[in-house]
Amino acid sequence: MRVTHKMVTNNYLSNLNRNLSAMQKSQEQLSSFTEISNPQIILMRLLVLCA
């Protein structure tokens, strides 16, 4: 199957949008101090608070 420029671009934009959504959710949780179940997010929160 041929991989076109449009396919690569659409895949890139889809992944970028997914990552931005995840980052926005994490940022909202960090700023509101809501309960976070993901250990990586807890670690990130601690690093931000200690900085």
Give the mean model confidence (pLDDT) for residues 38-51: 74
Pick from 18, 12, 22: nearest CA to 44: 22
**Is the model more confident about 27 or about 38?**
27
Confidence check: pLDDT of 38 > 90: no
**pLDDT on residue 11:** 96
Say if residue 34's pLDDT is above 70.
no
Q: Give the model confidence (pLDDT) of 7-31 as tens digits.
A: 999 999 999 999 999 889 888 877 8
Q: Which amino acid is at 6?
A: K
Mean pLDDT score, 36-48? 73
Measured CA angle at 21 (ends 36, 7), to 5 deg: 140
**Nearest-CA neighbor of 46 among 21, 25, 38, 23?**
38
Do residues 45 and 36 lie in contact, with contact meaning Cβ atoms separated by under 8 Å? Answer: yes
